[in-house]
Amino acid sequence: MTIAIDFLGAVGTVTGSQYLVTVGEHRLLVDSGMFQGSPEEVSRNRMAFAFDPAGVEALLLTHAHLDHCGRIPALVKAGFHGRIHATAGTLDLTEIVLRDAAKLQEEAEKRWRRKHPEAADEEEETAVERDQQGQTDEGDMPAVIRQAKPEAMTMTRAALYHDEDVTTTVGLFAPLGYESATEVLPGVTATFHDAGHILGSAIIELRLTDGGETTTVVFSGDLGRCDTPVLRDPTPISHADFVLVESTYGNREHAPMAQAVEELASVVNEVGASRGVLLIPSFAIGRTQELVWELDRLLRDGRIPRLPLYLDSPMASKASDVYLRHPETYDQETAALLHSGDSPLEYPDEQYTNDVDQSKAIRGMPRPLMVVASSGMLTGGRILHHLKDFLPDPACTLLFIGYQGQGTLGYAIQHGAQEARIDGQAFPVRCRIRSISGFSAHADEHELEDWVRNFAAAGGSVASDGKPKRVFVVHGDPDAASAFAERIRADLAVDAYLPGYREHVVLRQ
């Protein structure tokens, strides 16, 4: 029986996670996420899948971020009808993420058609074909995304999918619990372990059995950090034949959490004293909840002034509700606070803005104030409208607390861009730019190595309960992935390999 993996995303880049696993006559997917970055993002996501979706029997989802789940409705639309397995928390969040993504795409299409009335009657199929002109799905796609011009758009020719496609997708959801081995296909057993990245996030362990021989493949998904608020630490695993490990921060070290909190307090106090605006781009799921946790604690301790906090994301509001419904995923400190009747996921002066008019009204609210909006890498969402208002304003501070992938507008601004192009218009960057690395929801180079070290320490390179035959380093920009692969080879004496985009690797013949 042949066991193989096709690396179809999150290779040479940090987005578009998708791995096709072939086990004899059976095929399953791990993740099906969106590529993110330049304005051509939606066009690239429309390219035909590298396989027949109807021939895939199951999909295993590591977590609910868009770069891991965002193309699932497109997959279903193209003919996939298998079960979608993930933890209950992940599936609850994924429905929110996908419905929000469909809504944003529909709104972006309406904006485009208002601006291009001559195309108002154009059929969606024609629009898709026009978007795909000049696009190829070849091995250089990750490089194209990284090297894209630092620009963002709030409009698109045609939505990738619609809310009814999401409804069909949700009908395929099949929740699995942590640490519960489940046969998802004949001879394929999946176990989900807590990854500590966002609520419900999982490391997926696949045991692939043919007769008396078993091959174990472990997908790290996105690994969280140790000793951070709200969620438990990533689960250590010490047995695998093959491992796919993320490398987002494979060449960087995070600041200690205490330092990150001190830096956050300093920025809030600075904004309060100058009666300015603090604008924080953040993923609506995961980082927003942790940021609220820290702001609430700083306010309780008297370390920051009580500034109004606008959470400008309907998805963040719904996601926070999901967090409160799943206390079984919390670490001991957060669970104890909830048990006492206190919520660490609420800030006294927080206001959710659920419609566009409320969002636009923020620009005229009395200062000082704080605004948290998605997306975290400035690739879309309401943050783009706030950038138009606040980038040219010297009284404002743009604070990055998460990773900025190469090719994104966030990366360009973080690295000194003097202007930002949004919807084809140039906006000067006159506001203050700050970055805090300690709030990342991704493990840094040391934490990643410690997680892989669990496999290396087990010893043995043949049995599935020991040292892996090979570690595939994925989900990282080239500099981070290469540095982490070399670190694995040098420090752990394990074969580390950087797969190419769309590379087919046979694990067992």
Per-residue pLDDT for 363 more than 70? Answer: yes
- Helical pair 88-115 and 314-325, crossing angle rounded to 10 deg: 170
Per-residue pLDDT for 124 more than 60? Answer: no
Question: Binning pLDDT at 50, 70 and 90, where does residue 298 land?
Answer: very high
Per-residue pLDDT for 461 more than 50? Answer: no
Question: Binning pLDDT at 50, 70 and 90, where does residue 111 land?
Answer: confident
Give the model's pLDDT for residue 465: 46
33-66: burial string, b at 16+ Cβ within 10 Å, e else: bbbbbbbbbbbbbbeebebebeebbbbbbbbbbb
The pLDDT tens digits of the residues spanning 391-411 come to 999 999 999 998 898 888 999
Mean pLDDT of 358-369: 95
Mean pLDDT of 10-37: 94
**3-state helix/strand/coil string of 210-244:** ECCEEEEEEECCCCCCCCCCCECCCCCCCCCCEEE
DSSP readout, 366-387?
PSSEEEEES-TTSSSSTHHHHH
In angstroms, the Cα distances linking 314 to 96, 369, 476 are: 9, 19, 29
pTM of the model: 0.89
Q: Which of 100, 205, 210, 119 is nearest to 158 (CA)?
A: 119
Give the model's pLDDT for residue 462: 42
In angstroms, the Cα distances linking 47 to 71, 110, 129, 132, 178 are: 11, 22, 10, 7, 34
DSSP code, position 189: E
Per-residue pLDDT for 132 more than 70? Answer: no
Contacts of 411 (CB under 8 A, 6+ apart): 150, 377, 404, 405
How many residues comprise the chain?
509
Task: Say which residue, 145 or 227, is predicted with more confidence.
Answer: 227
DSSP readout, 276-309?
-EEEEE--TTTHHHHHHHHHHHHHHTT-S----E
Q: Order of strands, edge to edge, in the sheet holding 419-422?
A: 151-152, 419-422, 425-428
Six-digit token string for 427: 């906006």
DSSP readout, 39-55?
TTHHHHHTSPPSS-GGG
Per-residue pLDDT for 463 more than 50? Answer: no
The average confidence (pLDDT) of the chain is 89
